[in-house]
């Protein structure tokens, strides 16, 4: 099938490459000339494992092209995917200007029937907006249909998520239109859910909001665990065994970041407000997430006796592993607070340092994790790169001025860190917690807490 994908960000580029790999002819369109030229040279504007090889393979086989000419892409294609950015405005509302501009370009170029698919994350009702824009701007009397096909890919595993999705959601005005999109995805042999357009648009926001709720919930539980002497890893494991809950997104830490969850939640809250419903639960999710970096830095301040003049090493800058994306990364908030209190910051990330320099030019960047540990008063794990799990911790400790490590992602075992001589501070865990084979002494004895409460009530 002939496909046009408009927008070559994470969603558009991965979508185009995967459809080409499935045997379709794909034209990827972007108005950024420099980005298109970069792609034509075989270089990726983003870091995503496996993407460069997939793009190169399909360009060489003449199934994948890149252009700035939206008209050429529209005229040569039967199905057109809109995959442009929808950033969040200050009030949480999605900025749909790129979607509208794209719809206008499609309208002016349509020469026959087209299926136009919204792949961008857009608020409920955007399908109607795109239809209206095209109707008002089309130059020829041709038919078209609008479909919503939200993406659920994760940066760092975007290709796998596209090839092996949990479900494929297709929101279409009727069954005939839906089947044209089903045909595209049929080779994947994955579950497909066909809905109306508005329900498909809502599924994306509802899914991301629920994921964020799980993240904030387990972080709130971790905060209680720290005070009660419980181990949040064991708590999360016990929760995750319940089929009603599941184990995914129950990793306590510094909270969610990136370009999707925060933006989508803000948009859903704004949409609810517009419809006359105050989404108090989701607002609390946002508040809890916003508090996590401050709690992390506050613990550093407490343990180090203040931060002014201290040198802190940061391991991990990207918002998550296997990406160079710095959008809403927890490292930005953590480092900003450290600098505001007079600390000197050294940092290392396997791939995101170049992007980070544009946001945090005032810190010192290191070539390796060991270099970032040189002479520091403390190290802080901010992104859970697998590389950090495999470090020689004895060598790391030797490079540090003080063996203090704050683990914002709980990647190390507290017992092992204690044996190695570290002062180790994880999230929501006793510093000397044991695994499932034994319960280590807690920082606060829960039995004493219960006894104290019972005695107070009896009095």
**pLDDT for the residue 442:** 42
**355-388 pLDDT, tens digit each:** 999 999 999 999 999 999 999 999 999 999 999 9
**pLDDT for the residue 299:** 96
Residue 120 confidence class, pLDDT cut points 50, 70, 90? very high
More confident residue, 216 or 459: 216
Residue 444 confidence class, pLDDT cut points 50, 70, 90? very low
Q: Give ∠ CA 118-122-125 in degrees, rounded to 5.
A: 90
- Partners of residue 146 on adjacent β-strands: 116
Q: Is 260 a catalytic site residue? A: yes
The answer, yes or no, to whether residue 109 has pLDDT greater than 80, is yes
Q: Which of 4, 28, 225, 260 is catalytic?
A: 260
Residue 156 confidence class, pLDDT cut points 50, 70, 90? confident
pTM (two decimals): 0.88
Least Cα distance to 2 among 21, 33, 17, 23 occurs for 23
Mean pLDDT check: name the lowest of 48-57, 235-244, 432-441.
432-441
The answer, yes or no, to whether residue 432 has pLDDT greater than 80, is no
Residue 343 confidence class, pLDDT cut points 50, 70, 90? very high
**pLDDT for the residue 88:** 86
**pLDDT for the residue 458:** 55
**pLDDT for the residue 439:** 42
**pLDDT for the residue 89:** 84
**63-73 pLDDT, tens digit each:** 999 999 999 99
pLDDT mean across residues, the chain? 93
**pLDDT for the residue 187:** 96
Mean pLDDT within 203-210:
96
**pLDDT for the residue 448:** 56
Mean pLDDT within 397-407:
97
Mean pLDDT within 112-136:
96
**285-340 pLDDT, tens digit each:** 999 999 999 999 999 999 999 999 999 999 999 999 999 999 999 999 999 999 99
Residue 431 confidence class, pLDDT cut points 50, 70, 90? confident
Mean pLDDT within 31-57:
93
The answer, yes or no, to whether residue 443 has pLDDT greater than 80, is no
> What is the percent of the chain where pLDDT is above 70?
94
Residue 252 confidence class, pLDDT cut points 50, 70, 90? very high
The answer, yes or no, to whether residue 3 has pLDDT greater than 70, is yes
The answer, yes or no, to whether residue 452 has pLDDT greater than 60, is no
Query: Which domains does the chain possess?
Result: 2-195 (3.40.50.720), 232-425 (3.40.50.720)
> What does the block give as tokens for 287?
């508040």
- Would strands 192-195 and 168-171 be described as parallel, antiparallel, or unpaired? parallel
């Amino acid at each position: 099938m002939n496909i046009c994908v408009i927008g070559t960000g994470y969603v558009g580029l991965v979508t185009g490459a995967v459809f080409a790999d499935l045997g379709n002819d794909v034209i990827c369109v972007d108005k950024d000339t420099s980005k298109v030229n970069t792609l034509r040279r075989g270089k990726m504007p983003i870091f995503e494992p496996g993407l460069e090889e997939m793009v190169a393979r399909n360009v060489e086989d003449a199934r994948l092209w890149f252009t700035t000419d939206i008209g050429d892409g529209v005229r040569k294609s039967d199905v057109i995917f809109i995959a442009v950015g929808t950033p969040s405005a200050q009030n949480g509302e999605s900025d749909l200007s790129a979607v509208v501009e794209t719809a206008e370009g499609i309208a002016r170029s349509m020469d026959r029937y087209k299926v136009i698919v919204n792949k961008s994350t857009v608020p409920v009702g955007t399908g109607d907006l795109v239809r209206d824009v095209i109707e008002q701007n089309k130059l020829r009397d041709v038919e078209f249909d609008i479909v919503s096909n939200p993406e659920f890919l994760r940066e760092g595993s975007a290709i796998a998520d596209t090839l092996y999705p949990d479900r494929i959601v297709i929101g279409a005005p009727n069954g005939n239109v839906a089947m044209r999109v089903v045909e595209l995805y049929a080779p994947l042999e994955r579950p497909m859910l066909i809905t109306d357009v508005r329900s498909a648009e809502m599924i994306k926001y509802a899914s991301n909001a629920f994921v964020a709720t799980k993240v904030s919930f387990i972080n709130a539980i971790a905060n209680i665990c720290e005070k009660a002497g419980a181990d949040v890893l064991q708590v999360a494991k016990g929760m995750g065994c319940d089929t009603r809950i599941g184990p995914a997104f129950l990793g306590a830490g510094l909270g969610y970041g990136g370009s999707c969850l925060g933006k989508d939640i803000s948009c859903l809250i704004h949409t609810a407000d517009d419809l006359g419903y105050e989404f108090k639960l989701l607002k609390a999710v946002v508040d809890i997430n916003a508090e996590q970096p401050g709690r992390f830095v506050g613990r550093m301040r407490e343990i180090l006796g203040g931060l002014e003049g201290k040198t802190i090493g940061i391991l991990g800058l990207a918002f998550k592993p296997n990406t160079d994306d710095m959008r809403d990364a927890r490292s930005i908030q953590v480092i900003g607070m450290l600098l505001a209190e007079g600390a000197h910051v050294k940092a290392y990330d396997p791939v995101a340092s170049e992007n980070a320099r544009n946001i945090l030019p005032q810190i010192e960047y290191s070539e390796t994790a060991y270099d970032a540990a040189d002479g520091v008063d403390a190290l802080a794990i901010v992104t859970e790169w697998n590389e950090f799990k495999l470090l020689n911790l004895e060598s790391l400790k030797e490079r540090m001025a003080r063996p203090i490590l704050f683990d914002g992602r709980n990647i190390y075992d507290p017992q092992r860190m204690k044996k190695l001589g570290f002062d180790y501070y994880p999230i929501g865990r006793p510093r000397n917690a044991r695994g499932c084979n034994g319960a280590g002494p807690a920082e606060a004895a829960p039995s004493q807490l219960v006894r104290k409460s019972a005695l107070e009530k009896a009095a």
